[in-house]
Chain A
């Protein structure tokens, strides 16, 4: 049906997350909220950060509309972040950004990204990197806004 590259871009885990989105639906409260828009395609995400009493990340909640990559990426992020400290979260974001900028080369150790590492295929398609980053940029923004 598609080339191996396309199959690698749209792995099953990504298609699954794009359809059954984790963390979808904005929850009450939250320490900060960020709205991000990709003006070239109209993809949009609003994301809220929910902190635990000890300032670790309890979870994120979000809503938005967009392509399967942007939706799956935000969903995978929602699975990854509960329980992380702020600095761990920032490390994950930096690592994900490095992965997205790797032009198909990948990173040495993508283990800390969990299932989100499946988005590696996106890095071959420069035009789609923004889609994958959308939720992560919103998350990064809420970390700054809440500290």
Chain B
């Protein structure tokens, strides 16, 4: 399944190389894959672990852990510094990883900048705009300059990581922050966006897939509206890159971010995608070693992208591990993963609809969302729901999932979220449903 939207823009394709398998992976295959994930084989509170919190962070297969360890045991060296054999080998692995990851998301390798996580990527963009607004970057950086009268547009569905950095950018530059309100289902619509994006809009930042509702955004519509007024588009791909075939080039966004830890890689590694001509004219955020050409005591010249955004000694082992994770995902096939999660999501929605006193946040149509569901249980706080589930070995996320405005809009302060991935089965979904079905009576509500 390729995820894009209904407008006439060409569909986002599958990755450009390799041979992704198109068949749906089913329970049997998911169970087989589960054998690759050591953390999934344990008991929690006397029950076999049912891990339904991959939306927060995924578990890691042995091949990824092994790749990181192997690199550290055999090759470890600083990259882009020094000429000894290990340094050369490390640099090659590091840059090969960039090609692998770029290819996976439909980008060219010099359009991928390593970051610690998506949050850092978003801050990198915001600070680059800020630095340009303070006059850095010369004439070439004109399009990143913001001031009074300019507008930054985000949406009400954003994760705090795609919200707070823009608030701060607006405060620093005098630009105005506006948001696209979501509809009653918590969904970003093209109509609502059309009412907000206008002549003054300089930047539009929004999520591809909501981490609360799983709703898939009308990317092509928003991109078209933004580009029509000359605004740049930032896509938060945190919840799409791990779960759906992604082609950033076809989606025609200007920037995108994602985090490795949500896609089978370790923490501490993420990526920023930026169109080449933008990255090469954007002033840097973090500055220091490894991102310069010439340094005098007065001033410095910077390398082209991506190096100009990778100051300081880099997180090489995590980069190597992320490339291994991407190879793993590719070997399984993103189409199959997406189809599998969609069917788990459908089962989740259908099952939840049958439980009294449970409200699913977001659209109720499985076609419009990924394989996750956040719920409100009438009369029982999410923390208590989560505690009850944990007692049965079920790991679900409770709280506001770093999306307070969206929760507020949907009339709740917190929710309980089950999110699936390639290693989950219908049995996991059923365990969750059975758990949820028992919650209200346990807490004396039914």
**Which of B187-195, B297-305, B436-444 contacts its partner?**
B436-444
Question: Can you identify 24 A-B contacts, CB atoms within 8 angstroms?
Answer: A1-B438, A1-B441, A2-B388, A2-B392, A3-B45, A6-B387, A6-B388, A9-B387, A10-B384, A10-B442, A15-B444, A19-B444, A41-B383, A41-B398, A42-B407, A42-B413, A43-B383, A66-B381, A66-B383, A67-B384, A68-B380, A69-B383, A69-B384, A128-B383
Q: For residues 388 through 403 of chain B, which have their beta carbon under 8 Å from a beta carbon of chain A?
A: 388, 391-392, 398-400
- The CA of A142 and the CA of B407, in the complex, are separated in Å by 30
Indicate if the CB atoms of B391 and A6 lie closer than 8 Å.
Answer: yes
Residues from chain B with Cβ under 8 Å of A15 in the complex: 443-444
- B383 — nearest CB in chain A belongs to which residue? A67
Is B383 in contact with A10, judged by CB distance below 8 angstroms? no
Instruction: Give the residues from 39 to 81 in chain A that come closer than 8 angstroms, CB to CB, to chain B.
Output: 40-43, 65-69
A40 touching B399, Cβ below 8 Å: yes
Besides the contacts A2-B388, A41-B383, A65-B413, what 11 more A-B pairs have beta carbons closer than 8 Å? Answer: A1-B442, A2-B442, A6-B391, A10-B442, A41-B382, A41-B414, A42-B404, A67-B381, A67-B384, A68-B384, A128-B387
A103 CA / B442 CA spacing, docked (Å): 24
Q: How far is the CB of B413 from chain A (nearest CB, A)?
A: 4
Q: Complex: how many Å from CA A25 to CA B413?
A: 20
How far apart sit A128 and B399, CA to CA, in the bound complex (Å)? 13
Closest Cβ neighbor of B391 among chain A residues: A6
Chain B proximity of A99: nearest CB distance (Å): 19
- Which residues of A sit under 8 angstroms from B413, Cβ to Cβ? 42, 65
A residues in contact (CB < 8 Å) with B? 1-3, 5-6, 9-10, 15, 19, 40-43, 65-69, 125, 128, 131
What B residues does A40 contact at CB under 8 A?
399
Residues of B near A9 (CB, < 8 A) are 387
Cβ of A73 to closest chain B Cβ, rounded Å: 13
Complex Cα distance, B384 from A5, in Å, reads: 14
The CA-CA distance from A128 to B398 in the complex, in Å, is 12
Which residues of the other chain, B, contact A6 by a CB distance below 8 angstroms?
A: 387-388, 391
The yes or no answer to B411 lying at the interface (CB within 8 A) is no
Residues of chain B within 8 A (CB-CB) of A125 are 387
The listed residue (B381, B391, B404, B414) touching A2 by CB distance below 8 A is: B391
Contact A131 B383 (CB under 8 A): yes
Write the nearest CB–CB distance from B399 to chain A, whole angstroms: 5
B391-A5 in contact (CB<8A): yes
**Which one of A9, A40, A68 has the highest number of Cβ atoms from chain B below 10 Å of its Cβ?**
A68
Quick one: which of B333-392 are within 8 Å of A by CB? 380-384, 387-388, 391-392
Smallest CB gap from B399: residue in A? A41
Instruction: Tell me whether B46 is interfacial, beta carbon within 8 Å.
Output: yes
Q: Which of B380, B387, B404 has the most CB of A within 10 A?
A: B387
Query: Which one, B46, B400, B441, contacts A42 given CB within 8 A?
Result: B400
The distance in angstroms between the C-alpha atoms of A69 and B404, with both chains bound, is: 21
Q: A1–B444 Cα gap in the complex (Å)?
A: 12
Q: Give the chain A neighbours of B438 by CB distance below 8 A.
A: 1
Q: Chain B residues near A68 (CB, 8 Å)? A: 380-381, 384, 443
Minimum CB–CB distance from B397 to chain A (whole Å) comes to 11
Which residues in B have their C-beta under 8 angstroms from that of A2? 388, 391-392, 442
User: Given A1-B438, A40-B399, do A10 and B382 touch, yes or no (CB 8 Å)?
Assistant: no
Q: In the complex, how many angstroms separate the beta carbon of A118 from the nearest chain B beta carbon?
A: 16
Q: Which residues of B contact A1 (CB under 8 A)?
A: 438, 441-442
Taking CB atoms, residues of chain A closer than 8 Å to B398 are 41
User: Given A2-B388, A128-B383, is A10 in contact with B443 using a C-beta cutoff of 8 Å?
Assistant: yes
8 nearest A-B residue pairs (beta carbon): A67-B383, A67-B381, A42-B413, A6-B391, A41-B399, A68-B384, A2-B391, A67-B384
Tell me the complex Cα distance, A50–B192, Å.
49
Residues in B with CB closer than 8 Å to A66 are 381, 383
Interface centre among B382, B384, B400, B441 (most CB of A within 10 A): B384
